[in-house]
Amino acid sequence: MLQLADLVVRLPDGRHAVDGVSLALEAGRCLVLLGESGCGKSLTALSLLRLLPEGVTIAGGQARLAEQDLFSLPERQMRGWRGGRLAMVFQEPMSSLNPVLTIAAQIEEALVAHGSSQTVASLLADVDLPPQHAQSYPFQLSGGQRQRALIAMMLAGEPEILIADEPTTALDVTVQAQILRLLRDLQAKRRMALLLITHDLGIAREMADTVAVLYAGQVVEEAPASALFACTARHPYTRALMQVTPSLGRRGQPLSSLPGSVPMAGDWPRGCRFAPRCGQVQPRCRELAPPLEHGVRCLFPLDQAVASPPSIAAQPLADATSTQGAPLLQVEDLCVHYPIRRGLWQRTVNWVRAVDGVSLHLNRGETLALVGESGCGKSSLARALLRLQPQATVRGRIRLHGEEVLNLRGADLHAFRSRAQIVFQDPFSSLNPRMRVGDILEEGLQALRPEMGPSARRQQIERMLNRVGLDASAMPRYPHAFSGGQRQRLAIARALCVEPQLLILDEPTSALDVSVQAQVLALLRALQDEHGLAYLFITHNLPLVGYFADRVVVMRGGKIVEAGATEIVMAAPKHPYTQALLASAPG
């Protein structure tokens, strides 16, 4: 139905971010555009709507829809086609909806714009949003409801093609599953073509009829999903992507490594763009740019039948779990309550019980996964463990090494801080953009190890940088000069500088590409083996838990609903909530 041919997208500085992408969309089918960050997948989608950011231009190619080239339509006509024939659902539903208009008003606006005969009520029914939400404002809805409202708006013009750019990345797993199901149902019912953009192999496997894998601005492999996911990916990159994705089945095995990271737009190597990271690279690959032949862009495509599916039987990890004496961290009946203050004198009128009676323990050298959806209190718990909750009332007992953490004051609190550290989710906000890497790493040492001299500090910093795979040349540079994965390594090095025993990992890989995630996980595993670190691994990603954690604790509404060894919880969850979580995980 829609034929995109040889799309080239040029950035303001003349580099090409998308370099000859061809795709075909068919009514009633779902094409998944799969790729890591920076491969050009979002720009491809935006080009179809001609909504590229300022300065970014379509430098070549055609997009034929009903014998018309979208790229040569006058803007006036294009405006009618946007939403009318092609519609797009964005990642962040909060910023896609106008906060001061009701849902009904916004859907109505779209209906009027397209002269549609549908009604607000029918559209809301189509997206399974109860009719009483029509008069709600966006902030009154949950993330999933907002995404439904947005989809309803997009359906107002009865589009033939629906483009969804990471529509569920900002949502919890259970909600994500619902939205994906909704998209699939709508697509079938309305005979739309669906172009779904994602970085998540699980989502691709669940949704796609056809998958196009994008790498460095080019389609490197295009194949029917059924063929691709039967583990017969023929391009080394696709194969590697599948092998670096953690899962319960790969427990105990190292993830195969995909070195380096996706090259920046325009910084592409000569010859095959994947050659520098490819395991099967041959001399010719570095010279000759391979064409896309039989759905794969590789001079030496892999055989279809080689790979055998990984063994599914979960193996217990190396026996680090066996408890030697008392646990390192023991939490008993911990409550973190935030006061809600009102009025002139800020009287406390109520409490938000973010964490409400949580007990857990963690041994040396062990990884405990804390799983839960947003708002379940897992981050509050992490901050309370580190005594970073000045605004909240924290009750209960936290013992690290038998020491009552909640009673620590002054010098003792300082000593505690060097024993427990944290790595945050977003490596872009966790490093001060105006400090040099050397200063960032030195900060903890200056505060916690005042007895160390400048040269000793420098040695320690260099040692840690080397340990995380960087070197001393990083020290005079600013964080923005590093990629996401490198920044996360810096954040890990910063925490390790003060030689902690407990490391709280707050979604440490969820902002990273899968290939980089595998590298960071391997690093964390090696560090744990070396130093006997205990990890409290906070995440919402269940396959990752299955791969990485020894034990798992599932949290909901500030309480623990299920706890146990990972193999057992993942294989036979007892609590209905854990079962729902597992059932929702894509893939």
Q: Give the binding site for other proteins (CB under 8 A).
A: 346, 383, 386, 388, 391, 413-414, 417, 420-422, 424-426, 429-435, 439-440, 443-444, 447-448, 476, 478, 480-481, 491, 494-495, 498
Look at phi and psi of residue 20 and say left if phi exceeds 0, alpha if psi is from -120 to 50, else beta: left
Q: How far is the CB of 414 from other proteins (least distance, A)?
A: 5
Q: How far is the CB of 424 from other proteins (least distance, A)?
A: 4
Residue with Cβ nearer other proteins (158 or 439): 439
Residue with Cβ nearer other proteins (76 or 434): 434
Q: How far is the CB of 375 from other proteins (least distance, A)?
A: 16
Q: How far is the CB of 421 from other proteins (least distance, A)?
A: 6
Tell me the two tokens of residue 222: 């295009």
Residue with Cβ nearer other proteins (170 or 502): 502
In contact, 381 and 355? CB cutoff 8 Å: yes
Q: Which amino acid is at 325?
A: G
In contact, 161 and 193? CB cutoff 8 Å: yes
Residue with Cβ nearer other proteins (332 or 412): 412
Tell me the two tokens of residue 280: 């099967």
Name every residue whose Cβ is closer than 8 Å to that of residue 126 and which is 6 or more positions away in sequence: 152, 155, 186, 189
Q: How far is the CB of 315 from other proteins (least distance, A)?
A: 35
Question: What is the C-alpha separation between 470 and 326, in angstroms, rounded?
Answer: 36
Q: How far is the CB of 514 from other proteins (least distance, A)?
A: 22
Q: Give 300's DSSP letter.
A: S
Question: In what helix (H) or strand (E) does residue 185 lie, and over which residues does it extend?
Answer: helix 173-190
Q: How far is the CB of 338 from other proteins (least distance, A)?
A: 13
Question: What is the C-alpha separation between 577 and 562, in angstroms, rounded?
Answer: 9
For the chain, first and last CA: distance in Å?
A: 28
Question: In what helix (H) or strand (E) does residue 516 lie, and over which residues does it extend?
Answer: helix 514-531
CA dist 260 → 71, 151, 238, 472 (Å): 36, 37, 16, 19
SS3 159: coil
Closest CA to 489 of 415, 531, 437, 444: 437
Question: What is the C-alpha separation between 31 and 112, in angstroms, rounded?
Answer: 30
Residue with Cβ nearer other proteins (229 or 424): 424
Q: How far is the CB of 147 from other proteins (least distance, A)?
A: 25
Tell me the two tokens of residue 428: 């872009």
Residue 54 phi/psi, 5° resolution? -50, 130
Q: How far is the CB of 537 from other proteins (least distance, A)?
A: 17
| Residue that has been written with the tokens 């890989």 in this structure | 509
| Residue that has been written with the tokens 């990603």 in this structure | 541
Question: What is the C-alpha separation between 381 and 397, in angstroms, rounded?
Answer: 12
**Alpha-helix residue ranges (DSSP H) falling in 12-58:** 41-49
Q: How far is the CB of 10 from other proteins (least distance, A)?
A: 22
